[in-house]
Structure 1
Amino acid sequence: MKVIVESQYFAPVTLYKTVNRFLNVEFDVCEGYQKMSFRNRCMVMGAGGPVTLSIPLEEGRGQRRLMKEVRIANRYPWQSQHWKTIMSCYNRSPWFEFYRDELAVLFQKPVNFLVDWNLACWDWSVRKLGMEVFTGTTTAYQAEYDLTECLDFRNKLLPKSIMQNFPGPVPYRQVFEERTGFVPHCSILDLLFCEGKNARSILAREPG
């Protein structure tokens, strides 16, 4: 059985927890782009609370293109800005130094299409988690799937509804938890920087 889901920018922890059960994921790159999602944004944790990193897009967020056709607006220095924010948020986290150099290289990688960036982020993160995941992409849009063969996870992880849809995430120790309390559904980067090699076992836990 596989998970089908939209491609996302360093997706929330919940996606990795779900994929960890199946180890087979297919990204829908033939869907129409949808704004207000994690397709071009991710959430990290700063000292003052959640920080959203948003990738600028050619034609803006209201465009009507297939996901695989969406281009990044590289006239804006978004990669360097996002990397500086990540360093500011996690420089004192227990595991940031362990991932820093390789991740810095990723944020210097030239990229034109949003899907290519999202897949590069996915590949990097599953390698760091030690997950042997079979990853594929769709070749055509399919509105419905046989639910006996596929878990259709598309549009289940949206910024406005993720708390409602997944009220019981597995907690872990966050950098600024004493100030902000535990904030669920952050980017997988938050889990990796805070828990490092323990991240995979945390993904395997049952919700409390």
Structure 2
Amino acid sequence: MAEQQKNEILLIESQYFPPISFYKTLIEGEKVRFERMEHYQKVSFRNRCYIAGPNGMILLSVPLVKGKNQRTVMKDVRISNLEPWQQLHWKTLTSAYRRSPWFEYFEPELEMLYEKEFEYLLDWNMACFEFANRALGFAPHVEMTDTFEKDYNNDTTILDLRDKMVPGQVPENPVEYTQVFGERTGFLPNLSILDLLFCEGKRGLELLK
């Protein structure tokens, strides 16, 4: 059974610094295929992530050209850089995690990422994914779809979780660890992978297994 799980390919939409549940699922198979030929769906992790703040969860959302109600193929969705969203997101991350054990360790590379302008949401999401993988010490096999398939019911090697991980959803057995504002807010489950990285560093990979 374990051998079969190792051969599974996680099929999922690209996400902005994905939630911890994404990584916990991915680590079981170590293979991911990102869906880039779908139409953009609003209210998803495609352009948003959640971090921990002193008063609870904080939403970070990437603004898009044509807005959130567009029906554009994901690979063609453009970021709206008319407003300094990266600067605002970085300021929020710094404010929320400056006191965390590992923020300063990851700060130089992450700050450079937030200073680089991206035209397409998919490219931004992939850059975030690659940063998180390096930070965790994790190197999954990565693929992209070239065509859109509505379902993969006949392919037992595919674990199709497209639009299955959505904001507000809490997994049955969330990864638990000490958070920066935990004593004040209580534990906030399934935040962005950034929260786990800043709080636990490389140990985050062990906690995901």
Output the TM-score relative to the length of structure 2: 0.94
Q: Deviations over 1:53-110 (max 9, x none)?
A: 0000000000010111100000010000000000000000000000001100000112
Determine the structure 2 residue equivalent to 1:183. 188
Map of 1:193 onto structure 2: 198
- 2:159 is equivalent to residue 151 of structure 1: yes
Aligned to 1:32: 39
Q: Which runs of 5+ in 1 are unaligned?
A: none
What letter is aligned with 2:148?
Y
Quote how far apart the aligned CAs of 1:35 are.
Answer: 0.3
User: Per the alignment, in what secondary structure is the counterpart of residue 33 of structure 2?
Assistant: strand
Q: Is the 8 A contact 2:19 2:192 kept in 1?
A: yes
**Distance in structure 2 (CA, Å) of the matches to 1:184 and 1:123:** 23
1 CA distance for matches of 2:79 and 2:126?
Answer: 14
SS in 1 for 2:202: helix
Counterpart of 2:85 in structure 1 is: 78
| Alpha-carbon distance in 1 for matches of 2:20, 2:40 | 22
Following the alignment from structure 2 to structure 1, what is the Cα–Cα distance between the partners of residues 201 and 173? 22
Q: 2 CA distance for matches of 1:110 and 1:61?
A: 20
Q: Paired residue for 1:119, among 126, 146, 150?
A: 126
Could you list the runs of 4 or more consecutive aligned residues of structure 1 that deviate by over 4 angstroms after TM superposition?
none
**Structure 1 residue 132 displacement after superposition:** 1.7
In 2, Cα distance between equivalents of 1:140 and 1:78 = 31
Distance in 1 separating the partners of 2:197 and 2:116: 21
Q: Given the alignment, which residue of 34, 42, 58 partners 1:51?
A: 58
Residue 108 in structure 1 maps to residue 115 in structure 2: yes
1:126-145 equivalences in 2 (<5 Å): 126-145=133-152
Q: What's the % identity of the aligned pairs?
A: 48
Q: Which runs of 5+ in 2 are unaligned?
A: 1-7
SS at match of 1:107: helix
Shift of 1:147: 4.7
- Which residue is 2:5 aligned to? none
Distance 1:67 1:91 in 2: 33
Q: CA deviation at 1:167?
A: 2.6
Structure 2 residue 25 is the aligned partner of structure 1 residue 21 = no
User: What CA distance in whole angstroms lies between the structure 1 residues aligned with 2:66 and 2:144?
Assistant: 24
| Length, aligned pairs only | 201
Name 1:174's counterpart in structure 2: 179
